Amino acid sequence: MTAGRSGSEPATVGLPTISVVTPCLNGASTLSHTLASVRQQGYPAVEHIVVDAASTDGTLEILAAAPGVSYISEVDRGLSDGLNKGIRMSHGDIIGWLNADDLYLPGALDAVARAYQEHPHALWITGPCLIIGARGTEIRRAATAYKNFLLHRYSYRLYLTQNFVSSPATFITRAGLERIGDFDIDLKYSMDYDVWLRLARLADPVIVDQPLAAFRMQEGTLSMSGFQAAFAEHARVARQHGMGHPVAVAVNVAMSRVIVGVYALLARVRKARGAARRSPRAS
């Protein structure tokens, strides 16, 4: 195991402490931007913990040079295992999960802290999240608008129909963690949906109006590689938590199939367009 800079608890009187946990594996191409997005928050009571899964691409060099970041590097059992390790290392009143290719937007941690101060018994806090591409520019605005429409009409039954809560924009309070326990290491794609549903069964989230984070969507990331398996797992998680809501669970299963079909169609269209651009023009 490689470890860097011990995680000392931030001490700022009157402010809730926020721990940001970043699981990472070979994230050198984007990690610097992720670290900077936390550092540039200017929030004085934050600790940033990176749990690296033995990267070999220069990630450790970036971490060693990053100010204000605590990290460990060792082989783990996947994303949930990394998250659980980071949470056990954390000291915060509030814990956020920010992957090594995602970003916090300016003012995000201030907004979360205000929400916590206004709702001190909250178990979880969430808000809107943008989608960005490989170059960091916003993409898929329609998908973001759709998720925000559902988020602002939140109910447990509606949430069972599909996962419209974005992980980079979601924070769990220490009290919430104590109620629901660890992330499930047996889940490959839906560990977030499982945890959010466990929290949702206990209490509705506090919803912040302003966008809090940006989720990076690009070819090769976990969320873009294996939609069919991912949405099958989403539907299974909904069934596990959907006792008493059979219609909502059925909608989830149907929506999962529709979304997989739409993405498969889009992939075929992109492939056809790429082939058309590569083919020589007829003389």
Element (H, E) at 125: strand 124-126
Listed residue (227, 204, 207) closest to 217, CA to CA: 227
CA distance 71 to 64: 9
Listed residue (85, 72, 66, 89) closest to 19, CA to CA: 89
CA torsion sign for 250, 227, 195, 10 is negative
CA torsion sign for 9, 170, 83, 64 is negative
Alpha helices in the chain (DSSP H): 28-39, 59-65, 79-89, 108-118, 141-151, 156-161, 174-180, 191-200, 227-241, 246-278
CA torsion sign for 216, 203, 182, 19 is positive
Q: pLDDT for 208-254, tens place per residue?
A: 999 999 999 875 444 445 677 888 898 899 999 999 999 999 999 89
CA distance 175 to 105: 25
Torsional class of 123: left (φ above 0), alpha (ψ -120 to 50), beta (otherwise): alpha
Average pLDDT value for the chain: 90
Q: Are 218 and 224 in contact (CB under 8 A)?
A: yes
Element (H, E) at 124: strand 124-126
> Would you say how long the chain is, in residues?
283
Q: pLDDT for 150-197, tens place per residue?
A: 999 999 999 999 999 999 999 999 999 999 999 999 999 999 999 999
Provide mean pLDDT across the span 267-282: 72
CA distance 214 to 198: 24
pLDDT at 1 over 60: no
β-pair partners for 53:
none
Q: pLDDT for 3-62, tens place per residue?
A: 654 444 555 668 999 999 999 999 999 999 999 999 999 999 999 999 999 999 999 999
How do the domains of the chain map onto residue ranges? 2-220
**Which pTM value belongs to this model?**
0.88
pLDDT at 101: 95
Considering the segment(s) 2-220 as one domain, its CATH architecture is Alpha-Beta Complex (3.90)
CA distance 8 to 111: 23
Residue 272 CB neighbours (<10 A)? 10
Q: Are 176 and 100 in contact (CB under 8 A)?
A: no
Torsion of CA 11, 24, 35, 69, to 10 degrees: 40
pLDDT at 86: 98
Residue 233 CB neighbours (<10 A)? 19
